[in-house]
A and B are shown apart, each in its own frame.
Chain A
Amino acid sequence: QKEVEQNSGPLSVPEGAIASLNCTYSDRGSQSFFWYRQYSGKSPELIMFIYSNGDKEDGRFTAQLNKASQYVSLLIRDSQPSDSATYLCAVRGSKKLTFGTGTRLTIIP
C-alpha cells in the first residue's frame, strides 16, 4: 500500500462546476495535510493545509479531513480554466512530508 494515494486522473470538470479531488493515506499518526497545485513545467504551489478533522474553507477551495477514515479531499467550487493543473496531496507523518502522485484536473470551458 502506498503511503499517500491519489487517483491520477485525468479528471475533467465543466467550467463552473465543483471539482472534487481525493486522497487517502496509510499512516494513522499523520498530523498535517497539504494540497499543492502544480502547473505543467512549474513547481508545486501551496493551496491549503488542514490539521483538524472537518472542513477548512479558503475562497473557492475547501479542504476536508477525516482522520478516522484516513481521507482528505479538496473541493474547488466554480471551477475555472485556470484551475487546470495537477493537484498533489501531501501528508506529514512522524518523519517527513510524503506526496501522492497527483491528480490531473482539466476544466472544460
Chain B
Amino acid sequence: EAGVVQSPRYKIIEKKQPVAFWCNPISGHNTLYWYRQNLGQGPELLIRYENEEAVDDSQLPKDRFSAERLKGVDSTLKIQPAELGDSAVYLCASSSHRGQDTQYFGPGTRLTVL
C-alpha cells in the first residue's frame, strides 16, 4: 500500500513570493490533515478535511494561507505571500475515518523563505 505522497520535498523561495504544496493521501483515507512543524517542535495542526469539507481550520492563518481538497482526495496548501517566519516543514497526514483513527504522515515539504 502506497503511503502519503507529498511534493515538492524541498522549496526555497524569497519572501513575498507564493508557494504551493501538494498531498495525495493513502487510498481510501477520507480524513486529511496539514501540519506545520518548526525546528525542535512537534507538528501543529493547520487544517483538517473530512472528504472535501474543511472541518477544522481554526489554526490556519487565513490572511495568507489557503487550502483546498476539491474532489475529496488530493489537497493543496498555498501560502501567498510567504514570510520569513513561514520557514518550516509542512506535513500532510491522513487517516481512515473521521479523524478517529491513526494518522499516517507523508515525507513533508521543507520550506525555506529567504
CB proximity of A106 to chain B, nearest CB, Å: 15
> How distant is the Cα of A37 from the Cα of B100 in the complex, in angstroms?
20
Contact B105 A102 (CB under 8 A): no
Most buried by B among A34, A44, A49, A102: A44
Whether A45 touches B48, Cβ cut-off 8 Å, given contacts A99-B42, A102-B42, is no
Q: Is the interface of B mostly helix, strand, loop or mixed?
A: loop
Asked whether any CB of chain A lies closer than 8 Å to the CB of B104, the reply is: yes
Q: Which residues of B contact A45 (CB under 8 A)?
A: 105
Given contacts A95-B56, A96-B48, A96-B56, A44 and B105 within 8 Å (CB-CB): yes
A46→B3 CA distance, assembly (Å)? 13
> C-beta contact mask, A86-109 vs B, less than 8 Å → 1, else 0?
001010100111111110000000
Closest to A95 in B: B56
The reply on B108 being an interface residue by CB < 8 A is yes
Listed in ascending order, the chain A residues whose CB lies under 8 Å from chain B are 4, 8, 34, 36, 42-46, 49, 88, 90, 92, 95-102
| Sample (20) of A-B pairs whose CB atoms are under 8 Å apart | A36-B105, A43-B91, A43-B108, A45-B105, A46-B102, A49-B102, A92-B100, A96-B45, A96-B48, A96-B99, A97-B45, A97-B103, A99-B43, A99-B44, A100-B42, A101-B40, A101-B42, A102-B40, A102-B41, A102-B42
B interface, CB within 8 angstroms of A: 40-45, 48, 56, 89, 91, 99-100, 102-108
With A34-B102, A97-B45 known, 12 other A-B pairs at CB within 8 A are A43-B105, A44-B43, A44-B91, A46-B104, A95-B56, A96-B56, A97-B103, A99-B42, A99-B44, A100-B42, A101-B41, A102-B42
User: What 3 pairs between A and B have smallest CB-CB spacing?
Assistant: A99-B42, A43-B105, A43-B108
